């Protein structure tokens, strides 16, 4: 088996190098991971000993059609024909799930495999952490872009650890996520019928209601890199800088495409407008609005999500740029019940969740998370891992008294 995987790896690289119409998304994810180098995955792919060990484990190189260069430790197939015959008789299962090989064997060896089927099951390369690193490395070569990269956060979906199912969302929110998924899958169709104004969403709602968490979970679920930027971070006191920064952010998003561009603290745009109406600031706002107009999911592969706690200060010019406004309200009973279930799932103890729900009117998801954390820490202090209802009620009261302080202050 190890040898079969070894030959699979060598042939994948060889066939990929021979057929220009194959791209990195055709290489199986685990083979990509074994072959990535600093420049990403560029032709010609080479297989060195370390790559082979990474993918196939221990290799016994006693195959008559493989040579190794003792200097470079690079493998070479000496007879392509022998190699393909050898794998066809021993590695059918491997070929079937490998789009590069399926492409070759389907077209040139009439083996009963399907390129389309193999491709459907293979996750695309833009979700790989290594792919993202290589794009970022490429972008950092330009000094201006490198400076910009310090002001934003870029996540690979592989690095995100929040699951979509661990967020309590209402029907409308779930429905909207489904629509985005469908739009992504049917991009070609939407382009053909001229429906390109899609994929710009504004998340509105009070702090702690799951806006940022949902954007991150979407990145994981849709398997798209996430470019996160806070509008306040890219506004500069230097005249003209802000416009340039905004343009750069959108440029980076297009380079990372397909990806999600998440613009947080979006209401900052309104603050920019009302601050003394300096020409440079006006220009920055216009740059932002124009950048939003010029980008879309269907043509650029960029899903734009903006988030704000203060929707009321946004004006019409901003609102109409989004094809969907998705509300993140303070969670109603049903949603709070689900949030408690999610946060208490792994915790030992007997709880009356109904009572907790009744006692937490006006609490956000973030508040409930805090309740559970406080209760757990208090129990631990008392030497217990088993949580009681009283611990939770105590924490709820505690948080409520903090609310009072909060409202007195403002
Ligand atoms: N509906 C929810 N389901 C599960 N967890 C939630 C929910 N809402 C909030 N949380 C939890 O609360 C925390 C804060 O949420 P998040 O940062 O997404 O809020 P936000 O809406 O982005 O807030 P802000 O407006 O302050 O940026 C997260 O860690 C998340 O786990
Ligand atoms: Mg947030």
Give the model confidence (pLDDT) of 346-374 as tens digits: 999 989 999 999 999 999 999 999 999 99
Distance (Å) from CA 208 to ligand 2 centroid: 7
pLDDT (tens digit per residue) in 68-94: 999 999 999 999 999 999 999 999 999
Confidence bin at 24 (pLDDT 50/70/90): very high
Distance (Å) from CA 98 to ligand 2 centroid: 40
Q: Residue ranges per domain, the chain? A: 2-122, 127-327, 333-409
Is the previous residue joined to 258 through a cis bond, with omega within 30 degrees of 0? Answer: yes
Whether the CA torsion 236, 238, 239, 241 is positive or negative: it is negative
**High-pLDDT (> 90) share of the chain, %:** 75
Whether the CA torsion 135, 137, 139, 141 is positive or negative: it is negative
Among the bound ligands, name the one nearest to the CA of residue 310.
1
Q: Which atom of ligand 1 is nearest to the CA of 331?
A: 1
pTM over 0.85: yes
Q: Which fold has domain 333-409?
A: Helicase, Ruva Protein; domain 3 (1.10.8)
Alpha helices in 171-240, H assignment, sequence order: 171-185, 187-192, 211-222, 231-234
CA atoms of 233 and 97, how far apart (whole Å): 44
Give the residue from 47, 48, 58, 51 showing the smallest Cα distance to 3. 58
pLDDT (tens digit per residue) in 27-77: 999 999 999 988 789 999 999 999 999 999 988 778 999 999 999 999 999
Which residues approach ligand 1 with their CB closer than 6 A? 167-168, 205, 207-213, 309, 328, 331, 339, 342, 365-366, 369
Q: Give Rg (Cα) of the chain.
A: 26
CA atoms of 188 and 190, how far apart (whole Å): 5
CA atoms of 194 and 301, how far apart (whole Å): 15
Distance (Å) from CA 209 to ligand 1 centroid: 4
Instruction: Work out the average pLDDT over 273-299.
Output: 82
Instruction: Work out the average pLDDT over 323-344.
Output: 96
127-327 and 333-409 have identical folds: no
The dotted CATH code for 127-327 is 3.40.50.300
């Amino acid at each position: 088996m190890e040898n079969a995987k070894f030959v699979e790896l060598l042939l994948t690289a060889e066939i990929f190098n021979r057929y220009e119409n194959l791209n990195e998304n055709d290489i199986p994810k685990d083979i990509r991971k074994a072959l990535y180098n600093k420049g990403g995955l560029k032709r010609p792919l080479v297989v060195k000993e370390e790559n082979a060990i990474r993918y196939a484990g221990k290799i016994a190189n006693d195959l008559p059609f493989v040579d190794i260069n003792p200097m470079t430790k690079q493998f070479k197939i000496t007879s392509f024909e022998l190699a393909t015959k050898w794998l066809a008789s021993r590695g059918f299962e491997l070929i079937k799930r490998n789009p590069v090989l399926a492409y070759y064997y389907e077209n040139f060896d009439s083996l009963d495999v399907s390129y389309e089927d193999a491709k459907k099951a293979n996750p695309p390369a833009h979700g790989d952490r290594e792919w993202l690193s290589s794009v970022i490395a490429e972008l950092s070569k330009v000094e201006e872009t490198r400076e910009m990269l310090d002001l934003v956060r870029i996540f690979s979906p592989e690095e995100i650890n929040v699951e979509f199912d661990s967020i309590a969302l209402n029907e409308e929110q779930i429905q909207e996520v489904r629509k985005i998924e469908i739009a992504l899958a049917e991009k070609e169709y939407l382009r053909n019928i001229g429906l390109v104004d899609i994929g710009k969403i504004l998340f509105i709602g009070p702090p702690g209601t799951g806006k940022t968490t949902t954007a991150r979970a979407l990145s994981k679920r849709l398997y798209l890199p996430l470019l996160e930027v806070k509008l306040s971070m890219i506004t500069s006191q230097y005249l003209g800088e802000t416009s340039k920064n905004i343009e750069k952010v959108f440029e980076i998003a297009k380079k990372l495409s397909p990806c999600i561009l998440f613009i947080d603290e979006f209401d900052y745009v309104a603050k920019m407008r009302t601050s003394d109406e300096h020409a440079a600031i006006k220009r920055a706002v216009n740059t932002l609005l124009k950048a939003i107009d010029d980008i879309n999911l269907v043509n650029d592969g960029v899903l734009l999500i903006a988030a704000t706690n203060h929707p009321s200060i946004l004006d019409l010019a901003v609102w109409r740029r989004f094809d969907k406004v998705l509300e993140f309200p303070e969670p109603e009973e049903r949603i709070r019940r689900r949030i408690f279930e999610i946060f208490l799932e792994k915790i030992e103890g007997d709880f009356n969740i109904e009572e907790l729900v009744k006692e937490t009117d006006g609490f956000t998801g973030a508040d409930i998370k805090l309740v559970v954390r406080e209760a757990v820490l208090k129990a631990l202090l008392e030497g217990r891992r088993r949580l009681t209802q009283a611990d939770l009620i105590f924490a709820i009261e505690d948080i409520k008294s903090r609310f009072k302080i909060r409202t007195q202050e403002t």
